[in-house]
Amino acid sequence: MVINKKGGNKQKGQARKHTGSFSKLRIAVEGELYAVVTKILGNGMCYVQGIDDTKRLCIIRGKFRHRHDIELKINTWVLVGPREWEKITPNKDNTCDLLEIYSDSDKDRLKTTIDAHWNNLIIKTGGVVETHNIDFVSDKDSEYINMIEQQIIDANDGKNAIGVKEDDWIDVDDI
C-alpha cells in the first residue's frame, strides 16, 4: 500500500495503480495463438477464428467477464490457448481459453514486433492488406513501353486506351 505522505483525501487517488499508463504487451508462447472474435455467444463463450484459419469455441475466463475497461466485441484481436486435454471429436468445435484482449494500439505493436501471417487476421476484421507492387524495369523496357503507349494514342487519333482524349480529362478538384 502507498504511504500518504502529503495528507488529505485528494492524494489517496494517486496510488501507484492509477499513475502509470504503461502496459506490457503479451506475446504468444508455444501452444498459444492469435485470433479474431467472430461471434459472441452467451454464458461466457464466443467463437474465434485463429491465425491458422481454424474456428474455435473460446471460453471467456472469469478474469475478463466483469471488466468494464476492456470490451470484447466482434473483430477484436485476442490471444487464446487451445485446450489440449479435451478430446476433439469431428462434430464438436475445438475449444480454447481467452488469455489476452488486444487494443488497437496493441495491434500495431504486434504487427511491428512479431513476424507472423497477420493477413489472415486483417482480412477477417475487414481491413485492407497492404501490398507493395514493385516493378523492376530497365531503361530500355520503360522506353519500349512508352513507345508502344504513344503508338496506341496516335492510332486512336489522340485518344488513350480507354478512348478519352487527354484534353478531355475532368479534374475532380475543379468541380
Domain 28-124: assigned CATH number: 2.40.50.140
Q: How far is CA 57 from CA 34, 97, 123, 132, in A?
A: 14, 9, 20, 35
Name the pTM for this structure.
Answer: 0.58
User: Can you give the residue ranges of every domain in the chain?
Assistant: 28-124, 136-163
Q: Measured between alpha carbons, how far is 67 from 130 in angstroms, rounded to an integer?
A: 34
Q: What is the pLDDT of residues 137-163, one digit of tens each?
A: 778 888 888 888 888 777 766 555 555
For the segment 57-95, what is each residue's pLDDT rounded down to a tens digit?
Answer: 999 888 787 776 677 888 888 999 988 777 766 667 788
Euclidean distance between CA atoms 154 and 75, whole angstroms: 52
